[in-house]
Every structure is written in C-alpha cells, then in structure tokens.
Amino acid sequence: MKILGIETSCDETAVAIVDDQKNILSHIINSQIDLHQKFGGVVPELAARSHIEVLDELILRALKEANLEFKDIDAFAATSGPGLIGGVIVGMMAAKTLASVFKKPFIAVNHLEAHALTARLTNNVEFPYLLLLISGGHCQILMANDLGSYQKLGETIDDALGECFDKIAQMLGLPYPGGPAVEKLAKEGDEKRFNFPRPLIDLKDKNHLCDFSFSGLKTAVRREIEKLTGEEFSHFTSPQKISAKDKADICASFQRVVCNIIVNRLSHVDLQGKTVKNLVIAGGVAANRYIFSALQNWANQRDLTVIAPPIKLCTDNAAMISWVGVEKLQRGIFDQLNFKPKARWEIDTA
C-alpha cells in the first residue's frame, strides 16, 4: 500500500509517499521561511499563494523520486486541519482532485494526529503512550490510546511553546523560526543567570495540574530585556542594544525554565492504571535536543522511554500525513469528497 500525503497547513509545502512497510519513498519539503522571515512570523495570504504556486510540481517530483506513477498510489491524504485555512484548502483540494480523477480514496488528516503518530512510523511505538505535543500552535499532554483515540490530560491556557520560542527569538533579534536559533544560542549561555517564573506551577487547582501557561514567561523575558537596556522595550531598537552574552544567557535560562515547567506538568499525569512504556515528544519543538535530554533524565527514573522522531520528521512534513493515511486505510477508514477543511480541529475529536 502506497499513500501520497500533502501538507500545506502552515509555511511548508510538503509532499511525501510512504508505504505500509514504513518506507518513506519520497519526502519533499519546500520551506517558505525566506518569504516570511522579514515579517517575523507567517503571513497567511502569502503562505497560501506560495502553496498554490509550487504544489503541482512537488507532487510530480515526489512521484519521480519514488519512481512511481499516479496509478500506483492507493490513496491521497492531505492535512485538512487545523491550520491556516487558505493553505489547508490548497492541499486538501489537490488531494481530493487526485482521488476523484484516479478513483482512489481521499483521507482527511488531522495535522496534530499526524505529529502524534510519527513515532509509530519511525520507532514502531505501540499504543497506549504518553504524548507531549509541542509545536508552533499547540502545547498539550495527551494519552494516545489508539488511532483516533486521544485523551487530553493538559494543555496551554495561552501561548503554544513554539510560539513562545519564536516570540523570545524575535525580542532578541534572532531569525525566524526562533526555536532553532534560541537552542543554538543557549548552548553558549549561563542557564542559571536569570530566574524566570514558572506560571501556574504554584497553583494547586487539581483540574489544572497538567496545564501550561507561557504568556507570563514571555513578559518576564521582556522585563529582563528592559532592565538590561535601561529603556522600554521596542522591537526596532532593543535587540541591537542587548550584548551577545546577555542574549545567550537569556536563551539558556529560558530553556532551563521551560524544561522545568514541562517536567513538573508531566509529574502530575495520572496514568489511570494503564501500562505506559513510552513518552513520545512530537511537533516542531520536539526537535530541541536540550528539552529531549531533560525529559530523558526525568523519564529514566520512571521506567519510561522517551521517543522523539528524527528532526526532519518532528517539524512539519508530509511523511507524517502519508503515515496517518496508511494507518487509516489499513483499517478501512477514509473520507468523503465533501469533507470540509477545518481551521480548528481538536485532536481528541479527530
């Protein structure tokens, strides 16, 4: 079984073909980073236009790379939400059209479920597993019970973790996307220099013990920058006034407190008597090796194995979309051609 998957929900146009033996036969990603970099974030309309411009050619390249023709594909899968709706529509319409023309099933994929299941493609992880989904748009702790069955145990009440990395990078004048830049600079910094707050941690409300909040942390970083520069924060002038050493120390101290928060939240998870062997980290922030090691230290004391897919499969890609297609089609699950694109689509309703 071979599935062609399309990902267009944010700023990557990606096409991949994956088979049911877990071979990635093609894996193409066209990043729009250059397009959005000068704005410090993704501009939805520009993203959608760029998806339209390149998608057809990427689909043909994916087939060529895999040495396949359209008739060899068993189903066409596309991210159908959640995401920037213009982009989602572009990818989903392409997959529906191919499905209709070649009389093959169309599979509507939830982008979050795709991140969640990647570890089953790369590391053969069995259900149930604990899942930390940390991306540019999400920050959740989930129990992955089965395909299509996810129980949310906690989530952010404000910013996503990736978004927080991106905003802090922006305040420091680092390039977009901010996560990799913050991780790199943090390696040179003193992680104990700044004592940033851990929002929600002291709140003993038992309904929120696994929830996250990052907006206060972001504000604390801004205040620290104001103390260092001696003036009110401005995106235009402040980054240039912070020394390289101060920037590195802020990144390192920020990452340390983030790990501290994640570990604290995970420690409150109630496994409800389930035998869980793995903690899977998914989403773009799962590419962060510092966070990975911190989680490994924590998990080692609890007989849990931490699994993060290889970096190129942590950030947005289409192999993860094809893989959900494989898992669904293996169970006879596919969608109708009138499936509506969804800007919002919770994983626990996927």
- Binding stretches for ligand KG4 (CB under 6 A): 10, 135-137, 162-163, 165-166, 177-180, 183, 283-285, 287-288, 315-316
Sign of CA dihedral 19, 24, 26, 31: positive
User: Taking CB under 5 A as the rule, does residue 335 contact Zn ion?
Assistant: no
| Beta carbon nearer to ligand KG4, 316 or 335 | 316
Residue pair 174/235 in contact (Cβ under 8 Å)? The answer is: no
CB of 260 to ligand KG4, least distance (A): 15
Which of ligand KG4, Zn ion, none does residue 154 bind to, with CB < 5 to 8 Å depending on kind? none
CB of 123 to ligand KG4, least distance (A): 18
| Beta carbon nearer to ligand KG4, 36 or 104 | 36
Residue pair 76/107 in contact (Cβ under 8 Å)? The answer is: yes
| Beta carbon nearer to Zn ion, 118 or 135 | 135
Phi, psi of 106 (to 5 degrees): -105, 135
Distance in angstroms (rounded) separating the CA atoms of residues 9 and 12: 8
| Beta carbon nearer to ligand KG4, 166 or 229 | 166
CB of 162 to ligand KG4, least distance (A): 3
> What is the radius of gyration, based on Cα positions, of the chain?
21
Which of Zn ion, ligand KG4, none does residue 165 bind to, with CB < 5 to 8 Å depending on kind? ligand KG4
Q: Which of 260, 149, 285 is nearest to 199 (CA)?
A: 260
Buried b / exposed e over 50-73, threshold 16 CB at 10 Å, is bbbebbeebbeebbeebebeeeeb
CB of 284 to ligand KG4, least distance (A): 2
| Beta carbon nearer to Zn ion, 42 or 252 | 42
How many residues lie near Zn ion (CB under 5 A)? Answer: 2
CB of 268 to ligand KG4, least distance (A): 23
Cα–Cα separations (whole angstroms), residue 116 to 110, 112, 285, 302: 10, 6, 13, 21
Q: Give the interface with Zn ion as residue ranges (CB under 5 A).
A: 135, 316
